Amino acid sequence: MKKKNNQALISFYIITIFPEMFTSISHYGVTGKAIQKKIIELSFINPRDFTEHKHKSVDDRPYGGGPGMLMTVQPLYLSIKHAQSLLKDATVVYLSPQGIKLNQNNIFNLIQKKKIIFVCGRYEGIDQRIIDSLIDEEWSIGDYILTGGELAAMVIIDSVSRFIPGVINKKKSLENESFCNNLLDYPNYTRPKEIYNMKVPDILLSGDHNKIRLWRLKKSLEKTLEKRPDLLEKKILKKKKKIF
């Protein structure tokens, strides 16, 4: 079947000792569809398949002492080299708490890349020599501690999938989205008009689209001022950019 021109293909190679975790995004919802339609392509490389250690181990104790274990060089090195041979010119990204903290802007820039190799660490991290020799970029998804890079990779793939043409068809639903314009969403309502003594605001039933647009903008601004004043400051700095 021929691919439609508006469908950008993004390939992710994921280096992980827990590839089964990714069934959660492959089988469900928007990301599941995107993968089914081959708009997003996920491939897995398991360092355990590349270990030359007699007990198939992929971790060892840190030199100099300290808590926990680290992922060793050898299985990761061969895994990354293998991924690079299958996905030429890909950006190699190590997911770690030390990385650049991702936001909506980074995610948007990411879809231009098309080819990404994610290295998911487990234990207390990976040997620094892998980072120095094979990693192009190091990314974090926020200032809290996870148990490994897999959930971070899934968060990124999930978020990226919203940006790809053909994944979410309704262009409009993306245009007004939270964070795109540094505003939080306005309140939303669907049928019925009244339930359990709770009503939909009259203005949304008025059919006056200009008034509705202004009401939504007002609500968005109010909500943002109340909950995330930091976003409004960003917005004022970027005043020239048109909103809504």
Binding site for ligand 21W (CB under 6 A): 66-68, 95-97, 121, 124-125, 140-142, 144-149, 152
Strands 115-120 and 70-71: unpaired
Which candidate, 68, 11, 46, 10, places its Cα nearest to that of 119?
46
> Please, what is the minimum distance in Å from the beta carbon of residue 104 to ligand 21W?
16
Q: Is 207 annotated as a binding residue?
A: no
Structure tokens at 76: 């990761």
Return the number of the residue (47 or 121) whose C-beta is nearest ligand 21W. 121
Residue 227's contacts (CB-CB under 8 Å, 6 or more residues apart) are: 184
> Please, what is the minimum distance in Å from the beta carbon of residue 131 to ligand 21W?
13
Return the number of the residue (68 or 187) whose C-beta is nearest ligand 21W. 68
Could you please report the per-residue DSSP string of 176-240?
Answer: T-TTTTS-PPPP---S-SEETTEE--GGGGS--HHHHHHHHHHHHHHHHHHH-HHHHHHHHHTTT
Q: Is 141 annotated as a binding residue?
A: yes
Which candidate, 7, 9, 12, places its Cα nearest to that of 91?
12
Q: Is 148 annotated as a binding residue?
A: no
Q: Is 145 annotated as a binding residue?
A: yes
Peptide bond into 192 cis (omega under 30): yes
Q: Is 143 annotated as a binding residue?
A: yes
> Please, what is the minimum distance in Å from the beta carbon of residue 93 to ligand 21W?
10
Return the number of the residue (124 or 230) whose C-beta is nearest ligand 21W. 124
Considering Cα of 23, then 24, then 28, then 31, what sign does the dihedral take? negative
Measure the N-to-C terminal CA separation of the chain; round to a whole number of Å: 38
Return the number of the residue (17 or 184) whose C-beta is nearest ligand 21W. 17
Return the number of the residue (51 or 96) whose C-beta is nearest ligand 21W. 96
> Please, what is the minimum distance in Å from the beta carbon of residue 96 to ligand 21W?
5
Return the number of the residue (83 or 95) whose C-beta is nearest ligand 21W. 95
Strands 40-45 and 59-60: unpaired
Q: Is 130 annotated as a binding residue?
A: no
> Please, what is the minimum distance in Å from the beta carbon of residue 106 to ligand 21W?
13
> Please, what is the minimum distance in Å from the beta carbon of residue 1 to ligand 21W?
36
The answer to whether the beta carbons of residues 118 and 12 sit under 8 Å apart is: yes
Q: Is 146 annotated as a binding residue?
A: yes
Annotated binding site: 121, 141-146
Annotated binding site for S-adenosyl-L-methionine: 121, 141-146
